[in-house]
Amino acid sequence: MFEEEIRFIRSLYGQGRVPLHEPSFFGNERKYLDECVDSTYVSSVGPFVDRFEHDVAAYTGAARAVVCVNGTSALHMALLLSGVERGDEVVTQPLTFVATCNAISYTGAVPVFVDVDADTLGLSPVKLRTWLESNADLSGGECRNRTTGRRIKACVPMHTFGHPAKVDEIASVCREFGLALVEDAAEAMGSLFHGRHAGTFAGVGALSFNGNKTITTGGGGMLLFQDADLGAYAKHVTTQARVPRGWAFVHDQVGYNYRMPNINAALGCAQLECLDAILADKRETAEAYKAFFAGRRGFSFVHEPDGARSNYWLNAVLLESREMRDAFLGETNGCGVSTRPAWELMNRLPMFGECQRGDIANALDIEARLVNLPSGVRRKEMSCVS
């Protein structure tokens, strides 16, 4: 039934097994890893850690960037630094990877689900306002849930598949209701919204460098700050809150061992040098999909939102129905072409099933019909500047 689609994907990715997204190493990865091993500084201190933080801050325009062992720990830290406490509520979208809600849970807070926009797949500022207006009371600068009585402390939009959410409008609703804004930009390395890098609109943003993301450190994450002092504090808390006192071990609060090892940061430095080349390759693939699916009945390609430049981390199409989606998933995966459905919505998972939610019509519709397509880098060679 889908021979033509499969033939087209194979024309992009070849005849063998086609993965959804593989890492690609074209630059100084081996060189930096060798340097790192030769230096013996493979663990949680070393020059690549500082350099990777510096380079990511420069690339994204953040005032400070702080490495973490993975994106989930970066999100956990971002929520703690935003003042989220046990018993609070945090608004997020039901269409996201489970790590967003796990990080909220680690703080002892509970998620509340507000719908996504159909054009961005990210949290809807209009539905956020609507939900807050009918469910929350503002008093003394604090936002409280009328039903549960709990404080609503923060809001976490997620830039789905690298497509930026409407963060400017979300930020203004958050300001109005006294909510801290935390951006889950795990999927959005290299994505811009009105020319500004995803993850730099909020007080704190989090990136992921897991192996399936646009660039990888093996495992890893990064916190992005607009406030350099808060960034410096994050460095302290993510490194066991150790106070510099010569050789003595002195710690001034409960800290976390969340720092990325130097060997992972070495990989990150090399990957970052290739990011623009990787983004150009992924954009070409997205354009090819877009042109192909424009002529296919029953398929609608998910293109970057107006005013945004997506990294096209994972390309996606919406099919006509859940039945057609299931048939497409079956046929493609059956012949070695990896495609994936959207995540099960968070409100359907057992641990978040009781969480409060607004109208989530768009998320339900997208979940039923969306399929992610193979999206890895296609070039076999590229030159990365150093």
Ligand X SMILES: *Cc1c(COP(=O)(O)O)cnc(C)c1O
Binding range to ligand X, per CB under 6 A, among 144-152, 183-191, 290-298, 334-342: 183-191
Taken in order 14, 15, 18, 24, is the CA torsion positive or negative?
A: negative
Nearest to ligand X of 29, 187 (CB atom): 187
Q: Is the CB of 72 or the CB of 285 nearer to ligand X?
A: 72
- Count CA atoms within 13 Å of residue 202 on its CB side: 32
Q: Please identify, using beta-carbon distances, which residue of 5 and 115 lies nearer to ligand X.
A: 115
Q: Tell me which of 9, 33, 99, 272 binds ligand X, using CB under 6 A.
A: 99
Q: For residue 181, list its beta bridge partners.
A: 155
| Residue 90 in the binding site for ligand X (CB under 6 A) | no
Distance CA 177, CA 72 (A): 26
Q: How far is the CB of 162 from ligand X (least distance, A)?
A: 10
- Burial environment of residue 293 by CB neighbours within 10 A (0 to 12, 13 to 18, 19 or more): buried
Please give the single-letter amino acid code of residue 307: G
Q: Judge contact between 94 and 345, C-beta under 8 A.
A: yes
Task: Give me the least distance between CB of 322 and ligand X, in Å please.
Answer: 23
Sites for ligand X among residues 114-173 (CB under 6 A): 158
In this chain, which stretch among 87-95, 111-119, 184-192, 231-239 interacts with ligand X, using CB under 6 A?
A: 184-192
* Positions 205 through 234 that interact with ligand X (CB under 6 A): 208, 210, 221
Q: Which amino acid is at 373?
A: L
Quote the least distance from Cβ 71 to ligand X, whole Å.
Answer: 3
Q: Using CB under 6 A, which residues numbered 37 to 76 contact ligand X?
A: 70-72, 75
Q: Label each residue of 114-167 as H, E or C.
A: CCECCCCCCECHHHHHHHHHHHEEEECCEEEECCCCCEEEEEECECHHHCCCCH
Secondary structure class of 188 (helix, strand, coil): coil
- Angle 49-53-54 from CA coordinates, rounded to 5°: 115
Nearer to ligand X by C-beta: 97 or 256? Answer: 97
Q: Which is nearer to ligand X, 121 or 128 (CB)?
A: 121
Under rule CB under 6 A, residue 100 binds ligand X: yes
Whichever of 143 and 222 has its CB closer to ligand X, that residue is: 222
CB of 84 to ligand X, least distance (A): 16
Q: Which is nearer to ligand X, 97 or 233 (CB)?
A: 97
Distance CA 213, CA 161 (A): 10
Q: Tell me the two tokens of residue 72.
A: 């989930």
Straight-line distance from the first to the last Cα atom of the chain, in angstroms, rounded to the nearest whole number? 47
Of 311, 307, 309, 315, which Cα lies nearest the Cα of 290? 315
Told to check if 92 binds ligand X by CB under 6 A, we report no
Residue nearest to ligand X (CB): 71
Q: Is 254 helix (H, G, I), strand (E, B) or coil?
A: coil
238 interacts with ligand X by CB under 6 A: no
Kindly tell me which of 211 and 336 has the beta carbon lying closer to ligand X. 211
Q: Which two tokens stand for residue 147?
A: 């039903």
Site string for ligand X, 328-367 (x = CB under 6 A): ----------------------------------------
Nearer to ligand X, 33 or 123 (CB): 123
* Minimal distance, residue 271 CB to ligand X, in Å: 14
Q: Which residue has the tokens 């939102």?
A: 305
Residues that bind ligand X (CB under 6 A): 70-72, 75, 96-97, 99-100, 158, 184, 186-187, 208, 210, 221
